[in-house]
Structures are given as C-alpha cells and as structure tokens.
Structure 1
Amino acid sequence: MKLERGPKVATPGAARSAVPTDEREALLERWAVRHGIDAAQRLAEAEVLADAVAAGITPENTIDTYAKSWRVWARFCGSAGLPEDEGSRGALVAFVAWMLRGGQHNGNGYAPSSASTHLAAAVVGLRQRGAAVSGDDQAEARKALEGLAVQLLQAGERRGRGQAVGADIDGLYAIARSCPDTLTGARDKALVLTGFHYASRSQDPAGLLTGDITQHPRGLIVAVLTGKTKHSVRNAKIAYATDPEICPVGAYTHYRARLLTEHGEQWAGPSTPAFVAIDRWGHVTGGMGPDSVTRAIKRISARAGVPVAWTGHSLRIGLATAGRRKGKDGIAIADQGGWARHSRSMLGYMQIEDGWDDNASAGLT
C-alpha cells in the first residue's frame, strides 16, 4: 500500500526525527489499515510537523554539540575500519578507549568528561540514523569509560580544565576598582556585577536586548531568554546593593547613560543590544557574542589581579557559592540562577561551601 508523503522537513543533528525511516514506514502502513489512507496521511503530516517543532525548539548549541560528536564518531570509525551506522557493544567500548587513548586531532586523549559527552551524542546520532543501540550496550561502554578514567587518575594524569573558579565578593571589589573611567570600563563593570547577580552564562548577556532589562523601584528585572532549559528562562530580580561601589543596578544605569551620551540615542531602543561590543579605539561595533563575553570576563578579572582568572562560567558558580556562604536557601538560589531546584550542578557548586560546615569531621577536635 503506497501512501502520499507530505513535504519533508530537513532538520539538523539532534532535531531529526526520533523514529527511524523504516519504523516510520511501518507505522504509516499500520495507520492505513486501522484508520484508512486519508487519516494515515494526516497522521503522517502531523509527524512532519512534530519534526519541524523539534527542530525549532532545539538550542543551537545542542545541535552543534551533536554534530561535533558525530564527527568524532565518524573519525573513530574511519580509523578502526568500522561502519558508522552500527553501534554494537564492542564498537562503543572501542570508541571510548580510542577517545581516551588519543582520539583528538593532535593525538592527545580526550578528557573523560568530553568523552562522556561524545559517547552520549554518538548514541543519539546512531539511533537517529536507524541503528539499534541497546541500553545494555551503552551502559557497558559507560562502565568502561568510568573504569579507564579511574586508571588515568591512578596514573597521576588529570585531563581537562577542571571546574572553573567561582566569582567572589572580593573579586567583585577588585574588578570594580580596576575598571578604567571609559565606556569600556563602565560596560565591563556592569557586565560582571549584573552577571554575577543572576548567575549568567556567557550566552545570557550576549543575548540580552535593552528591552530585556527594566528598571524597578527596588532594582532591575532581567528577562533571561537564552536559557538552556525551562528553568533558566526567567525574570531575575537584582536589588540595589548596600555598598554603591559594587552595586549592579548603579553600574548598569551608569553604563547605559554613558553609552547614550557618547554614542547617541540609536542605542536606546528596546531591540538594541544591552551590552555592546567596543573596539580598542572606543568604537561601538554592535552587540557582544558569547565568545566575546567569555574573553571579556577573563580579561577583566586578569586586569583586576584576581588570583585565578575567571571564565565565562565563574559568575554562575559564584552566585551559588557566595549565596550559600551567606546562608541563602537552595530554592532561592535555584530560582535566581535558573537551575532546577534539585540540579546536580547547582548542588555541586553549593557543596564547595557546604563541604566545610556540613562535614562529618568538622568540630570534632
């Protein structure tokens, strides 16, 4: 029985249909038997729509990660002489061993955390392409990864950058005092102070428009719309600080006023970037991107003499650790920073502080 097909939707990487083509064909045949050809056709069109919706809501960075991991899998298969569309137990375990042994382009091994990401994404890619990868086979590969990672540690080999250092209040003071009296300095100060208070990722300030940050009698309301999950899309409230020197509200207000004074009202519209890119000559060149935010935070912290340079994730970690140090409730921290209320990553950041007081050995001697 032949069914007419609706228009195909080309969806990249992770946004492809979760149902392999041969299974979809069989499903359509069953629908036709049960409901007739017309109803089966409408159900087929609904499947196409579902694929298009999945493509539309999948974050670009997720798509990029899946595409990158598939390229790593393809390189492995090429070097091992294995077919790309088969994810057997042996192939997955060999993939893990290859990544840790020397899978990078430069011949070095991947960090276990990176290998774990590539393994998970490769399995998704295999299933999207119709390969039957069992949960047991994937679990076997992950068990091998964990065991090999332990062996690396036992051999004294630590890979990867490790967790970024968290921003702290002393660092905020140092940054506030080191920012020059220029538009770039004003922007830098506002970028760090506001980002710390809503636990920003690098893409968050890069995605903010002027209309996303609104004044309130008690401070600022930041509409974070670039979050990775339903929890991270939020309206974060930033109150005036007790000390004006590190007040995020005052820093942002001063930066925006200086931007309009020096470069005109063209930057005042709600659809203009909240944080602008400024070249070495003081020219405004547009909005900041995630990479430029990351580079700026590293440069700003280095200029301030922070002992360990901050990264694009330092502000996010800093809210969790500093908030916990001040006795803030975990739910309040989660809501402000856009974590799920029992997020493992957030709890891990909070444990940096909790591990000293909520400790079986603390106070025994």
Structure 2
Amino acid sequence: MTTEIELPVPVLADRLALVERWAERHGVQAALRLAEAEDLADAVAAEIIPENTADTYTKSQRVWTRFCAATGLPELEGSRGALMAFVTWMLREGQQNGKGYAPTSASTHLAAAVVGLRERGVRVSGDDQAEARAALEGLAVKLLQNGERRGRGQAVGADLDGLRAIARVCPDTLAGDRDKALTLTGFHYASRSQDPAGLLTGDITLHPRGLVVAVLTGKTKHSVRNAKIRYADDPAICPVRAWTAYRARLAAEHGQQWAAPSAPAFVGIDRWGHVTGGMGPDSVTRAIKRISKRAGVPIAWTGHSLRIGLASVARRKGRDGIAIADQGGWARHSRSMLGYMQIDDGWDDNAAAGLT
C-alpha cells in the first residue's frame, strides 16, 4: 500500500512516486532527505553543464518541438518510431527555411533531444536511440552517394605562413597589437573562441621561459589546463613578446586598471580606439576572421582555426600526440584531435606511399 506523504516543499510530479517508494522502504524522514539529495544532484548537474552545451540543448529542444508540431506527434514521447521520424524529418526538411540539416547537425539535435526528453521524465530506450543514430548514419551515406554534401565542413587550420602574414600586416596601434597577441597566443594553446574571451589578466602569467595560460573555460577535465607557451625563435611571430607588448600598450594608453588581475585579458576596441570591455566568444570569432582576411590568408580562418592549426602543425613537426593533447586540452587519443591532425592533400602522409 502506498504511503501518503505530506511534503514540506514542492516536489516534481514525476519524482513524487519515487519519494513514496523511498518512504515505504526507509520511512518518511529518510525519503525527504533523499528528495533533498536529488534536488542537490539536479543543481550540481545544471552547474557543471558548459554554457555553450546548455545553449545547444535549448536549440535542439526547439527543433524537437517544431518536428512534433509539423508531424502531429506528442512532444513527451521518445519511441523508436518517433526518433526515426525525427531523424528523417531533419535530413529532409528540418531547418526553418525548409531545407534539410547536415548530418552532423542532425546528430547533435538527436542527442540533445533525447537528453531533454529524459530530463522531463520520458523513458527513451538506449536501443531505440542507437537504431535512430544508425539510421542517420545510413542516410548520411546515401546523401554522399548521391553527391550531396551538406554543412560547412571542417574549418581550415591556421598555419605558420598565415601567422607570419598576420604579424606583418597588423597595424602599429593598440588594436593591431591586440590582434597579434590574440592570434599568436591562441594558436599556441589551441584556443576555442570562448577561451580567450574567458581569460582574465591574472590567468596569463610570465615565466622565465615564456607564458603560462590558465584555461578555465574548457568543457572537460582535460581542457581546463595550464598551457605553457615558450618564447619563439622568430621574434616576429613570438606569442610571448606579442602578449607583453599588447599589455604594456593597453596600460600605457588606457590606464593601469587594465593591468589588474581581474581585468579581461583581451579587450574590445572600437574604430576610434576606445576600449569597450572584454571580448565575447562571438567577437573573438569575428576578429579571427577579420584578421586573417586582412593578411590575405587564402581561406578565411574561423574561431576554431587556431585550435585545428596547433594539432595539425604540431603533428607535421613531429610532436608527440600525448604532448599535443595536453597542450590543447584534448583527452589523450581523442578522436576529434586525431581528426584535426589533418594532412592537406594526402600525399605527404600517405599509408601506401613507398610500399612498392
């Protein structure tokens, strides 16, 4: 017989049945303590989800809602058929403009939609999710066989020629010094756009051999790290010299408050040379694109180009994979890192080369 419990605080309806079962097993007071522990677990889980991951979940939930509205299926149902229909709909017409999503985007939306359904108490079978994912992969192969490639593809990686070109054309202004420091340091610790945007002055410290960058905005335990950046042999593209020159000029032209440990490491600068505050991830992405175009880089870089570039250039230079992973904040033997270790034309690092 179910125990009736008067709860001193509101409890989610889908948890009430669980609390009642705990009360039958352990008593009312123990059940209430377990309910409080569940609330704490929810709060911790919400706290540790990176902001960009939470944004992805929110966007994917909107895609799921649009799918349910378009097909007349209930939102709170994650059956095998519903997930398969979701995958098919996304590839066929899922975007708001009526076009199909790229398979990579559809995969992200599928995973996030399942997370959202489970958070709302909907039971989603792991086997059903796996079958939907297998269907997505099979349909993606069909698209390729039909000559249809969707999505932007992997961003172009930064390279040493591009870094030299950028260093040459950065103007002799505070914004030019900022651009040079942003690009050169970002390459050497394989930055994502949110990394320099999240750095404070106190997170970057001088060392006799270079800089130590405390990257605290990573999504995993591997990406939160202290990256060491050595002085470069070529002063023109030395990240340490670029950083110190930029910081000295910022304090000299706009005051010592920008040298405080709590000040943003990289600041926005308007067209009149006024400091507008710290840069955000989107402004970093726009800056990297603008900086690379100004330097005449053949394909404009994106906010991820510096990260890809560190992995691919370091590999070509013969650096150890584990050392690359530690510097860039990847798990050792990470699949994404191995994907970034790209070879541009497939001739220099060809498995079949020289075998016959």
Deviation at 1:306, TM superposition (A): 0.6
The residue identity in structure 2 corresponding to 1:70 is: Q
Matched, 1:118 2:109: yes
SS at the partner of 1:253? helix
Deviation at 1:37, TM superposition (A): 1.2
Partner of 1:276: 267
Q: Among 67, 73, 78, which residue is 1:82 paired with?
A: 73
Instruction: Report the Cα distance in structure 1 between the residues aligned to 2:251 and 2:265, rounded to whole angstroms.
Output: 12
Q: Among 95, 104, 107, which residue is 1:104 paired with?
A: 95
Q: Among 132, 143, 150, which residue is 2:123 paired with?
A: 132
Instruction: Report the Cα distance in structure 2 between the residues aligned to 1:30 and 1:311, rounded to whole angstroms.
Output: 53
Partner of 1:169: 160
Deviation at 1:356, TM superposition (A): 4.9
The residue identity in structure 2 corresponding to 1:171 is: G
Partner of 2:247: 256
Partner of 2:169: 178
SS at the partner of 2:339? helix
Q: Give the alignment's TM-score, normalised by structure 2.
A: 0.96
Matched residue pairs, number?
354
Change (3 A) 1:8 1:234: farther
Instruction: Report the Cα distance in structure 1 between the residues aligned to 2:128 and 2:303, rounded to whole angstroms.
Output: 36
Deviation at 1:106, TM superposition (A): 0.9
Alignment check: 8 A CA contact 1:196 1:315 kept: yes
Matched, 1:339 2:341: no
Deviation at 1:7, TM superposition (A): 4.7
Deviation at 1:353, TM superposition (A): 7.3
SS at the partner of 1:235? strand
Over aligned residue pairs, what C-alpha RMSD do you find?
1.7
Deviation at 1:218, TM superposition (A): 0.5
Change (3 A) 1:354 1:7: farther
Change (3 A) 1:165 1:28: same
Matched, 1:3 2:5: yes
Alignment check: 8 A CA contact 1:324 1:353 kept: no
Alignment check: 8 A CA contact 2:227 2:327 kept: yes
**Which runs of structure 1 show a deviation greater than 4 angstroms over 4 or more consecutive aligned residues?**
6-9, 353-358
Matched, 1:300 2:291: yes
Partner of 2:139: 148
Alignment check: 8 A CA contact 1:330 1:341 kept: yes
Instruction: Report the Cα distance in structure 2 between the residues aligned to 1:76 and 1:358, rounded to whole angstroms.
Output: 44
Partner of 1:36: 27
Structure 1 residues without counterparts, runs of 5 or longer: 10-19
Deviation at 1:2, TM superposition (A): 3.1
Instruction: Report the Cα distance in structure 2 between the residues aligned to 1:341 and 1:6, rounded to whole angstroms.
Output: 48
Q: Among 89, 95, 98, which residue is 2:86 paired with?
A: 95
Alignment check: 8 A CA contact 1:77 1:83 kept: yes
Instruction: Report the Cα distance in structure 2 between the residues aligned to 1:141 and 1:238, rounded to whole angstroms.
Output: 44
Instruction: Report the Cα distance in structure 1 between the residues aligned to 2:112 and 2:172, rounded to whole angstroms.
Output: 46
Change (3 A) 1:33 1:207: same
Instruction: Report the Cα distance in structure 2 between the residues aligned to 1:362 and 1:264, rounded to whole angstroms.
Output: 58
The residue identity in structure 2 corresponding to 1:197 is: H
Matched, 1:244 2:246: no
Deviation at 1:121, TM superposition (A): 0.8
The residue identity in structure 2 corresponding to 1:337 is: G
SS at the partner of 2:293? helix
Partner of 1:59: 50
1:344-363 matched pairs, under 5 angstroms: 344-352=335-343, 356=347, 359-363=350-354
Alignment check: 8 A CA contact 2:343 2:349 kept: no
Q: Identity of counterpart residues, as a percentage?
A: 81
Q: Give the alignment's TM-score, normalised by structure 1.
A: 0.93
Structure 2 residues without counterparts, runs of 5 or longer: none
SS at the partner of 1:352? coil
The residue identity in structure 2 corresponding to 1:2 is: E
